[in-house]
Structure 1
Amino acid sequence: MGILNLNTPFVVKVKHPNGTVTFDGFCIDLLKQLQELLGFEYELYESPDGLYGSLSDNGTWNGMIKEIKDQKADIALGALSVTGERETVVDFTIPYYDLVGITILMKKPVIPTSLFKFLTVLENDVWACILAAYFVTALILWLFDRFSPYSFTNDPERYIDDDEKREFNLKESLWFCMTSLTPQGGGEAPKHLSGRLVAATWWLFAFIVVASYTANLAAFLTVSRLDTPIKSFDELTEQYKVKYAPLKGSSTMTYFRRMAGIERKFYEIWKELSLDDNIPEFERSKLAVWDYPVSDKYTKMLQIMEDTQLPASISEALDRVRNTTSDGGGFAFLGDGAIIRYLVLTNCDLMMVGEEFSRRSYALAVQDGSLLKDQLNEA
């Protein structure tokens, strides 16, 4: 009996030094259990073109389905989805893995962390100017207190009855200017008029700096939150930075082709009805809408996929996903949820996005009308 197998994440191919090839994984475990129950022998080989099987535009099949249809193999084993097209040329057994949908595989966003991220809110030149103003103001405040005849330093007897006395040496001047930038306040102000003018000017400057920094920080954090990764299938289709595509010749690609074809058929039906003179004018007026009544969502998606170029293998798809850049550009892979969940579990840099849709089952495929179908179903 010929067993056909595609190299998927469920089935891992390992080459030994003696040249033989062995397989292991979920499907192989299933095959061994079936062998124990039915007592058959088998020969295992891969699909020559490495595809599951899809119908081309010229009406020919490829992949595992072609091998079964051409009677080169008896059973197709792998993550093979049950679709209406495939059921027209092969028979499927009872599903061994039920309700597997399409989902999105993307690279996890790398969020840089820094203890000094709060400094990035303002430019380096702005910080330099603030520091320069800080030291210059502290120096002027110290000089005015040092040489003013009305300061506490030069005339302590004048303020002997005051409860708070503060000598504005260089250390105290630096401390006053620094604490003035905080809600705590700068503490006791200078006693002389010139020093108070300097302090008032610095307070006004500090108020503007703190208000500007707070506003810029709020805007900075808001923009950071807005730049979130894609979280659903609809968000993926509504943006243009990240390109996306399924495997070439996969059932996922067939799904999008069929959905685009349905949209085109609906458009043709709508156009024929709206232009049919045999329909009463009142009935045709109901079809006269500003916007076309059926969305062309999948038609646009299919065009983007074809322009993106479909990956030929999962390895190629993973390489393109991992090449996603930090500015939001890159690639998202659309594929079967079971395969993508496996990839996420075994690769820490990947993530699954959104809910599964268009759920189908995995099953074994046999030749059309083959007696093996009943035997495998019973097993």
Structure 2
Amino acid sequence: MLRPLFKPFDPPGGRAPQFENHSRTAPLQTPAAVQHQCVGRHCWCLGDPQALPHRLTGNATGNSSRMLCQSYWQSQYECGTCMVLRAVRDVLSNTYQDQWRVAYSSRAVWLLFLDTNAYLEEFFTDINIPFDCEFLVAQSQNGDVIALTEVYRVSPTLPLQTYRFGNWSPGGGLTWPSQGFYQRRNNLQGHVIRATYKSEPITVNVVKEANGSYKTEGYFGQIWGIMADLVNATPVYQAATSYGSKSGNGSWSGMVALVSSGEADIGIGDFTATAERSHVVEFIDTVEFSRQVIWIYIKVFIKIPNSSDMVWNSYVAPFSYGLWLAVAISGCALCVCLTITNFSHDGQKEKQSLMVSETVFYIFGCLCQQGQREAVNRTAGRIVTLTAYVMSLVIFVGYSASLISSLAVQPRNLPFRDLQGLLYDGSYSLGVLQNSSFLNIFDGAVGGLESEVYKKLIGPFKSDLPSTNDEAFERVCTRNRYAYMLAQVRESGLQERIRQRYITLKKPDADRSTTTVGLLAIAPILVVFAAGNIMSAFVLMIERCIRGNAFRLWLDGNIRRPYNNEYQQLVRIRRHPRIHVMPNRRPLRVR
């Protein structure tokens, strides 16, 4: 009896596929004529009525493809045993010649009942049981014990493979294997697998050795090499120019096009699983190897910001804006208090030791911890001065500690941390790999953040996208404000050893013993110093010009006065320094 243990989907029209009859000896009954009930589902039964001497009851748990199955022989066959087996062979041959029926049968678990004396190799001589089809053969052994054997072929030209699946007995029930489906089929018998790849130094690279064989290197290349050796496959490599992306007319390029068209069996590389790719290829998923999974994360790489780009605000960063505002208000309050102390208690203005403008510079000098030329005589003024110096000391200690630590540690303040921040910054151009899944993610987006990123950061530079990761990282290092999006790989177990071989992580900054403060870190201080000197020299020149002209005008005006004897004497002294003028006496020449 040939029985699919479960039916994963209904055929078109809700009818079971009709198997054609190619037997020359007797007409073949269709499965619909001998249907039996199997846990609420219709199962198709073909087989030898003499294969089992009595009622067979089977039950199974654990796998969804192994259902609780109860069947009873209720139909009477008019044809002989040989005719039925020949009909079963015809059914199997015709089933696996049709592509649709192969796909259908591969999604079901089949059970064939054969006589004890039947040989599996002879029965399946010209029958191809696909590699992904779970096909079980039940044969009576040692009386009531039924032996279940799993049969399949790696390819139609390779020998039949058998595996002892389990046993069934009325008393002990059914025993199942502990290994999984593909763990039982771990030998491809040297079957040729056509593999396509995109040459990348870190991910995949194929090298031809001296003996003519090919060896895969790189992160995913070595993983594929280990997998091919474990399953005993013979890979044949074909290079591609890109991973593959979908164009506007719906066609694909790169490795995806080679796999979907059948020119290649597998693509090796750091692919990204997308919905569009899953529609054109049969399988795409994260790499799984011995229950150790590689996880893919999207990362954006940028050049480390130069310290000169951020150093201009590093000298105000130690204090918050609120604290700087408090310091400014406190300085103004001290100026007002020092000005008020110059007035008497009764409101009468005394002779001021400091003018209002001088008071401002006086307090500013105290906050900068500078000594003053003129001392304040009043007690209230001295208290204000002492308060200014104490305040300046506290501010100086806190500011210096924070500034020195920031200059010594030099933290990296990233300009953005996500795509929203990258879009909001607007000064960066975003690059992705040509004909890659990342490009389809953004250009195929309808509205949302991805669409805005494509319109503003990727679309204007679509014709200038990098073709390799090396070219992209070279642009990141050489171009100003260039960001590159790539998939970051995280792994564990065996793949950790492969990662350590091909990916070397840079030691963190905390491991450095010393930190050197460069010239750019103190550039604002030097600029302020130079600007102050230049401004003071410029102001001095202006003052000299203004006062020099005023002195000459005042001098000329007094010379024209005929009765100004004192000024005449001053002029004579300036013109003749050796002449000393005595008051109320004639001038005497000093020898």
Largest Rg, 1 or 2: 2
TM-score of the aligned structures, taking structure 2 as reference length:
0.33
